Structure 1
Amino acid sequence: MNRRAVLLGTSAAALAVFGGGAWYLRQQEEAAAAAAVTQNPEALVRPNSPILGPAEAPVTLVEFFDPSCEACRAFHPVIEDLRQQYPTQLRIVLRYTPFHEGSDEAVRILEAARRQDKFEPVLDALFEKQPEWAIHGAPDLDRAWRIAGAVGLDLERAQSDRLHPDTTAILNQDVADLQELGVRATPTFFLNGRPLTNLNFDALRAAVGHAVAETS
């Protein structure tokens, strides 16, 4: 056996070990998250969490998201497609996960919008124009506020609501819950209380479709 064959064989073995280790780690994280939900189901859905879709829908998809997260922005149209596909069967529960610099302020914009029944248009606008304001290392939150104002948010009223105690309480609770559930990345999804790992767009669609079919 020549040296090149030995090297290739060694590399393949290392990749197999790495792949097996990554799979095992994902399984461990999924089991830990499921156990945390079992121990404290309230940590997954709080009474004051934003909900998109019918509150009594039989299928619940919880998303821990960060308004500044590029992957969350990429998944947002998929979530919207699922809502249109399952308008009565699916509800989306959103949990704030302010991992990026400035994301806590973006959450305050969203909560101010929720007080004015403008949550969805402001959420859509912040995601659509995310590259304009969620600049890594130098987020432009003034621009984020202007983007929200452009879709109908009353900025004067919103600024007075910005530091509302209820908003601070929601932020603090969501951070505590994501830590308890072991959420380390965004977006993180739980479907009917079960964590979904190693997701892509098609896998999320398939998982939700399967959950809806089980309720039929």
Structure 2
Amino acid sequence: MKYVIVGVTSLVLVLAFVIGSNYYKEQQIQKYGFMAADNAELFVRDHSKTLGSDDAKVYLVEFMDPACETCAAFAPFVKQIMDKYPGKIKLVLRYAPFHDGADDFVKILEAAGMQGKYWETLNLMFETQNIWANHHNYQPQRLWDILPGAGVDIEQIKKDMHDPAIAKIIEQDMADVKTLNVQKTPGYFVNGKPLQTFGYRQLYELIQSELNAQYPN
């Protein structure tokens, strides 16, 4: 009888945990969905870089760091999804440079954007990340040798990256990171709904659910 009671108690505790966890996730989704509707600026700022149609009904917001290995790994996957549903998904990039020294790489990327080479530079940074940022072993001197491949003026980037406006962009994004409780990169939100369990399949399913909701036909 004693073992039965212990077993039943354990089962009840497990069920309570599962129910509580699911309830928490649902509350989080509802919370961020509400924030997306009424505080859209937390997800998309005027300075945010975007890719995709302005008519898209599904917004994929990614808090990223150009030196983040997982961000680089997910970039081709996100591109594949966007290519699969042309015109229906808009990618919004935000910054979350959590690691020491990562700010400088965001500044370099933004400075490249001043030359109209934002996406070319980001793609090149991701493709060569193992050379200049392998396992957070940042070696910016190697990056300077690589960046001409994106068609940028290196000396101009070295000047522009110190523009106070770029520092303000990072400051604002990090404030939104705190408000939205983003704790690691990449951090994803789809129409304001956070990716609760991280993974390729989970991200695809979250995007797919919003596509189904926004494009029922």
Aligned to 1:173: 172
- Contact between 2:195 and 2:202, CA under 8 Å: does it hold in 1? no
- Contact between 1:106 and 1:144, CA under 8 Å: does it hold in 2? no
**Letter of the 1:75 counterpart:** F
- CA apart distance, 1:18: 7.9
**Secondary structure at the counterpart of residue 45 of structure 1:** coil
TM-score of the superposition, structure 1-length normalised?
0.82
- Contact between 1:53 and 1:90, CA under 8 Å: does it hold in 2? yes
User: 1:165-216, CA deviations, whole angstroms, 9 ceiling, x for partnerless residues?
Assistant: 2211111100011111111111111111211210321222233233223324
* Percentage of identical aligned residues: 36
- CA apart distance, 1:88: 1.1
**Secondary structure at the counterpart of residue 45 of structure 2:** coil
- CA apart distance, 1:144: 2.2
Aligned to 1:112: 111
- CA apart distance, 1:87: 2.2
Alignment of 1:18-167 (within 5 A): 30=29, 33-34=32-33, 36-37=35-36, 40-136=39-135, 138-167=137-166
- Contact between 1:101 and 1:139, CA under 8 Å: does it hold in 2? no
Aligned to 1:5: none
TM-score of the superposition, structure 2-length normalised?
0.82
Are residues 66 and 51 of structure 1, via their aligned partners in 2, closer, same or farther at CA, if it must alter by over 3 Å?
Answer: same
**Letter of the 2:103 counterpart:** D
Are residues 40 and 58 of structure 1, via their aligned partners in 2, closer, same or farther at CA, if it must alter by over 3 Å?
Answer: closer
In 2, the alpha carbon distance for the partners of 1:22 and 1:126 equals 38
User: 1:88-144, CA deviations, whole angstroms, 9 ceiling, x for partnerless residues?
Assistant: 111100000101222111111111121112111111111111111114454111222
- CA apart distance, 1:65: 0.9
* Structure 1 alignment gaps of length 5 or more: 1-10
- CA apart distance, 1:36: 4.9
In 2, the alpha carbon distance for the partners of 1:187 and 1:85 equals 21
User: 1:53-80, CA deviations, whole angstroms, 9 ceiling, x for partnerless residues?
Assistant: 1233221100011112221111111111
Are residues 21 and 88 of structure 1, via their aligned partners in 2, closer, same or farther at CA, if it must alter by over 3 Å?
Answer: same
RMSD: 3.0
In 2, the alpha carbon distance for the partners of 1:148 and 1:27 equals 43
Aligned to 2:7: none
Are residues 13 and 95 of structure 1, via their aligned partners in 2, closer, same or farther at CA, if it must alter by over 3 Å?
Answer: same
In 2, the alpha carbon distance for the partners of 1:134 and 1:23 equals 37
Are residues 138 and 15 of structure 1, via their aligned partners in 2, closer, same or farther at CA, if it must alter by over 3 Å?
Answer: farther
In 2, the alpha carbon distance for the partners of 1:29 and 1:185 equals 17
* Structure 2 alignment gaps of length 5 or more: 1-9
In 2, the alpha carbon distance for the partners of 1:204 and 1:55 equals 22
In 2, the alpha carbon distance for the partners of 1:127 and 1:19 equals 38
State the 4+ residue runs in structure 1 displaced beyond 4 angstroms. 11-39
How many residues align? The count is 215
